Structure 1
Amino acid sequence: MRVIEALIFDMDGVLIDSMHLHSNAWKTAFAEAGIEIDEKDIFHLEGENDTGIVKSIMNSKNIDPCRLEDILTTIPSRKHEIFDIDKAVMFEGMDKCLKKLKNKFKLAVVSGSDKVVVDTIMERIFPGIFNAIVSGDDTINGKPDPDPYNKAVEMLGVEKENCIVIENAILGVTSAKNAGIFTVGSPTYLDRKELEHADIVLQDHAELYRFLELLMRT
């Protein structure tokens, strides 16, 4: 019988309502470089680190590969200038929920956002809550590769079969599944059917809270 020892959360879209801020910042940064993208382009790439997002956009837009080095240098840095971290807020009730969970489980967060953003949000909104924090800067390969979740499991010092991942992104679910971890999909900005590769797909944050409450009772 499996004993759950650790819960691993994605940050943007699960803990923090911030993807609209990220998508608008990316959209503006790309537009300034003469590349038009849609908000959905970023939603579908949620979880990728900066390099992964830029490469994916370039491939999808058939942009000259000779521009890659320049774009990798300029667009992510411009995106971080535009992104207003102070407007990132947690989903209502998430802090109380995590404090209860911390009494029973080890907790980790795995995000594709850069380290400065992740550390700043964790310190401002969830100080002392997480046993392990993995940002987009902490692994060479980001989501959908398994590396970010493998790193979190290693940092927590637990077995994969004793973990549950909570994700709201297509690539995030793929990353966790590629790492061999039971994954719960909790759609926030996407249609529920887009997370069907998760082991369980919930309806919304209300159902996520009910699921976590049940875990605390087991």
Structure 2
Amino acid sequence: MIEALIFDMDGVLIDSMHLHAMAWKTAFMEEGISIDERDIFALEGENDTGIVKRVLVINGNNSIDMETILTSVPAKKHQLFDRNSVTLFDGVDDILRQIKGKFKLAVVSGSDRKIVEMMMEKYFPGIFDVVVSGDDTEYGKPAPDPYNKAVEMLGISKDNCIVVENATLGVESANNAGIFTVGLPTYLTRKELEHADIVLHDHEELFRLIELLMRMFPGT
């Protein structure tokens, strides 16, 4: 029986990864490191510390002080999110309101807590039962910790959960936690999400899947 649906935030619920990428590109550029937007898309789901470590390894740069970047990035992100409108993917608000009360709902995001709370309060007040941010576990995605924490907070079996992820590291994290995972390509290709249990084409297909789950488990 499916009792809970667990969603990544950026790229699944809200179209916001361009803001994250802009903040990271600026922060690394200030330290003399050039990165591409897709570099950040590929690392989506990692917490801030994990992203810095991976970028420095990829660039073979051990001379940059991680703390300098980690200190500057949150402020840059917060400014961008404050000044720019974030768009919900079409249909997301409607489907969440349809399933509220029928399933337990959780968000597991690699974004810092301030941004996650800002998005929850602005766009999804009262919708989610559990919210896990990138600040809430020592190890972010692809480690299983974020999804394990969400399941623990939900208080149900992993076998009764489904994760919806749009990022390679997010899929890996859910896999490592042993939770059935739906891949949703928004910024990456279907091929890049091939390790999900199923890979959809778009949000419309996701909504049809959720509607099917509502018919299959009407008493949840």
Deviates more, 1:92-101 or 1:170-179: 92-101
- Once the two structures are superposed, residues 157-199 of structure 1 have per-residue CA deviations (whole angstroms, 9 ceiling, x without a partner) of 1000000000000000000000000000011011100000000
The one-letter amino acid of 1:152's match is A
How many angstroms apart in 2 are the aligned matches of 1:12 and 1:120? Answer: 13
List alignment gaps of at least 5 residues for structure 1: none
Q: Does 1:89 align with 2:72?
A: no
CA RMSD in angstroms comes to 1.3
Moved more, 170-179 or 207-216: 207-216
Read off the aligned partner of 2:66 and give its amino acid letter: L
User: Residue 51 of structure 2 aligns with which residue?
Assistant: 53
Q: Distance in 2 between the 1:54 and 1:79 partners?
A: 15
CA contact (8 A) 1:169 1:195 kept: yes
Deviation at 1:103, TM superposition (A): 2.7
Q: What corresponds to 2:122 in structure 1?
A: 124
1:34 aligned residue? 32
Q: 1:15/1:165 Cα in 2 relative to 1: closer, same or farther (>3 Å)? A: same
Q: 1:72, 1:188 → 2: CA distance?
A: 26
User: TM-score by structure 1 length?
Assistant: 0.94
Deviations 1:95-150 (A, max 9, x none): 11001111310000000000000001001100000000000000010000000000
Indicate yes or no: 2:176 matched with 1:185. no
Deviations 1:67-117 (A, max 9, x none): 33433333x235325432442121122111001111310000000000000
Query: What are the equivalent positions in structure 2 for 1:2-151 lying under 5 Å apart?
Result: 3-65=1-63, 67-74=65-72, 76-85=73-82, 86-151=84-149
How many residues in Structure 1 have an aligned counterpart in Structure 2? Answer: 215
Moved more, 146-155 or 61-70: 61-70
Deviation per residue, 1:22-51 (Å, 9 max, x gap): 111211121122110000100000000111
1: CA distance between counterparts of 2:125 and 2:137?
A: 23
1:42 maps to a residue whose letter is I
What is the Cα deviation at residue 64 of structure 1? 1.7
- The sequence identity of aligned pairs, in percent, is 66
- The farther-off stretch of 142-151 and 208-217 is 208-217
Q: Does 1:158 align with 2:148?
A: no
Aligned to 1:202: 200
Q: How far off its partner does 1:17 sit?
A: 0.5
Instruction: Name structure 2 gaps, 5 residues minimum.
Output: none
Structure 1 position 5, deviation (Å): 0.4
- The change in CA–CA distance for 1:214 and 1:36 in structure 2 (over 3 A counts) is same
C-alpha distance in 2 between matches for 1:91 and 1:57: 28
Report if aligned partners of 1:25, 1:82 keep a CA contact under 8 Å in 2: no
Aligned residue type for 2:182: V
| 1:29 and 1:78 in contact (8 A); partners too | no
